[in-house]
């Protein structure tokens, strides 16, 4: 068999193998998670609201206070806690881990940040 014929047979074989793998689903990515993520607002018992995030029925994140802010200040309303929890879920679904929330993101959601203590 001549060299060009061998090359053609090799290429045809590789194309056939790739076609078979594609049909068998080897090149298709599976969904990252078939699990349901939900957020529930919770009263923190001190001064406001927090949120819990569940994967199906398992609690995976419990955030009773403003995330990324020192202290134990809660959200001013149930709605703000839910909006922030939805942002966390959005980050998790995009594969961002840990799903940190910055003060500027809280501000953009309408969360009033506590005033820093006066310096001495």
Kindly give the residue spans of alpha helices, DSSP state H, lying in the chain.
3-23, 78-93, 103-108
Stronger pLDDT, 116 or 80, i.e. the higher one: 80
Q: Is the pTM of this model over 0.85?
A: no
Q: Residue ranges per domain, the chain?
A: 1-30, 37-108
Whether the pLDDT of residue 15 is over 60: the answer is no
Contact 77, 44 (CB under 8 A): no
Contact 99, 86 (CB under 8 A): no
Contact 74, 65 (CB under 8 A): yes
Stronger pLDDT, 10 or 85, i.e. the higher one: 85
């Amino acid at each position: 068999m001549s060299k060009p014929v061998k090359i053609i047979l090799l290429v045809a074989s590789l194309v056939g193998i790739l076609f078979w793998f594609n049909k068998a689903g080897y090149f298709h990515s599976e969904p990252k998670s078939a699990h349901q993520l939900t957020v529930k607002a919770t009263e923190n018992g001190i001064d406001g609201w927090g949120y819990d995030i569940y994967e199906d029925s398992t609690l995976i994140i419990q955030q009773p206070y403003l995330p990324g802010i020192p202290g134990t200040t809660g959200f001013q309303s149930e709605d703000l806690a839910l909006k922030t929890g939805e942002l966390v879920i959005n980050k998790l679904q995009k594969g961002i881990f840990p799903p940190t929330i910055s003060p500027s993101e809280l501000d953009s959601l309408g969360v009033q940040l506590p005033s820093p203590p006066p310096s001495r």
